[in-house]
Amino acid sequence: MKSWKDRVVLLTIIFLAVSFLVFFVAGYTALYWAWARSNLQAAQSYLTWARNSGALAIACAAVALGILFSTNTFPLAANTRLLLSLLVTITIGFFAEFRNEGKFYFKGLHHFFGPATWIHKALNHLGPSLGDFLYRMEYSHWNDFLMGPAIVSVLFPLVGFRIYKSTWNQRHTLPGASTYDSSNDLDQAMRFARILMNVGLFWFFCMAWAEKAGYIANLHSSDEFDLPFEFGGTILGFWMARILTQPFDQPSENFESTFAIDFLSSGVIGLLYTIMVSPLTQSLTGAVAHALYPAVPPSLEIPEYTPFQRHLRPLELLLLAVATWWCLNRSSKPEEMTVLGSPSEGVDRNSQWLVPKTAALVFAVITGYLVVLSIMLSLMEPQGLGWTIATAGIGLGVGTAAFLLSRRAWQKGLTGLLDEGADTQRNRP
């Protein structure tokens, strides 16, 4: 590694370790006074240090994650990579716990962009209401986004000691001894860590989905913008699980998708859906209602999600994220995408119409799936989580069968498909 890269990694480790240590002492001392001793006034003297050092520690953790994500640019030794991974996960884990407990005991005084902080006033001088906007984002959505990385950060240190022990055994194998057991033990440790973190993320994803669908009541979460931020944090957590557990003897692993595409498809598209599509749908239904019933008083115009809308909205977000992911990967790397069915001949992949055609196909598939799901949920009227999942599964299965059938008919032609079925009947004994 070049000298400047060594310095960047070393400075990142030093700043991350020092800022985390200051944050841990100040933040959890404040939490002790506010929680265990019920003395908020004594805790306030530590909160300034906790806010500033915590923000610096998270910034250093983001830089460290960038180094871990860029293994081709920053090839790290096994010990250095493991040390950096442990520092990142411990920092994010303790910071997330401090934020989660602080919302109950600090009355908003632990927010970095809070109204009484120096950064809030400075940002409002730079731009009108810029500090207010960042404070609202931190107050409402920062914890939601942090949950995905926090789950990975809590679970990874549990197996960090096992990974370190496996790497130590692999390096200190006696000459002439078989290295199969030590290398296999390291692979098993990495595989177990990845499975453990992915199971935790899957559990969080299901809980967030069930909460927004109305199956789980949460008095502290009533914001409809939460789900896109939770989606984005979950995607970041999945990529953290990939990077933290990649084999030590390889510079990087090749994945079909990229972090940018995954993050854009989940969090950003979900946020745009919540901001644009949901209000547009409400205004459209309101206009139709006024056209049918012009005598409706304005006092009754209260937007309210019906049980059917709560069941369907998480599915809409999930389908939109999956379709966007497929479209972006198909457009950016068409030669590496796995196409359903046999590849069609004579298609110019470099054609300028590839992206519009792919986008149109994705839109048609999304529309078809939503129509099928709406019909299934309307006909069966599911009650409870089990029935809703079963109904949605039936709808997704019907939609998938219709998509595959239409795709096959498009590739071979309807006449050829019918002739193939007739030939099959004639060849039967």
pLDDT tens per residue, the chain (429 residues)? 468 888 899 999 999 999 999 999 999 999 999 988 889 889 998 999 999 999 999 999 999 999 998 877 888 888 888 899 999 999 999 999 999 888 888 888 889 998 888 898 888 888 878 888 888 888 888 888 898 899 999 989 888 777 877 777 766 665 555 544 556 777 778 888 888 888 888 888 777 777 766 666 665 555 666 778 888 888 898 889 888 888 776 655 666 677 777 877 777 777 776 666 666 666 655 665 555 556 655 555 555 556 666 666 667 777 777 777 777 777 776 444 433 333 444 444 455 555 566 666 666 776 777 777 777 766 776 666 667 677 777 877 887 787 777 777 666 654 554 555 555 555 555
pLDDT attached to residue 176: 52
Residue 228 to residue 260: CA distance in whole angstroms = 15
Q: What is the DSSP string of 343-393?
A: PPTT--TT-TTHHHHHHHHHHHHHHHHHHHHHHHHHHH---SHHHHHHHHH
Residue 324 to residue 265: CA distance in whole angstroms = 5
DSSP H stretches of helix in 251-306: 259-263, 269-272, 278-292
Report residue 74 as tokens: 């920053």
* Percentage helix, strand, coil for the chain under 3-state DSSP, each rounded to 5: 75, 0, 25
Residues 6+ apart with CB under 8 A from 386: none
pLDDT attached to residue 222: 57
Cβ pair 84, 10 in contact under 8 A: no
pLDDT attached to residue 417: 47
Looking only at Cα atoms, what is the longest distance across the chain? 90
**What are the domain boundaries of the chain?**
3-172+181-272, 350-429
CA pseudo-torsion sign 345, 346, 350, 354: negative
Nearest to 67 by CA among 8, 25, 139: 8
CA pseudo-torsion sign 51, 56, 57, 61: positive
Report residue 266 as tokens: 């989940």
pLDDT attached to residue 220: 57
Residue 124 to residue 128: CA distance in whole angstroms = 5
pLDDT attached to residue 343: 42
Residue 379 to residue 81: CA distance in whole angstroms = 54
The DSSP letter of residue 75 is -
Residue 421 to residue 137: CA distance in whole angstroms = 58
pLDDT attached to residue 173: 60
| pTM reported for the whole predicted model | 0.67
pLDDT attached to residue 382: 63
Residue 152 to residue 150: CA distance in whole angstroms = 5
Residues 6+ apart with CB under 8 A from 85: 68, 156, 160, 244
> Would you tell me how many other CB atoms lie within 10 Å of the CB of residue 248?
18
Query: CA 322, 325, 327: angle at the middle one, nearest 5?
Result: 110
Report residue 159 as tokens: 């197996």
Give CA separation, 131 vs 81, 108, 268, 276, in Å: 36, 15, 22, 24
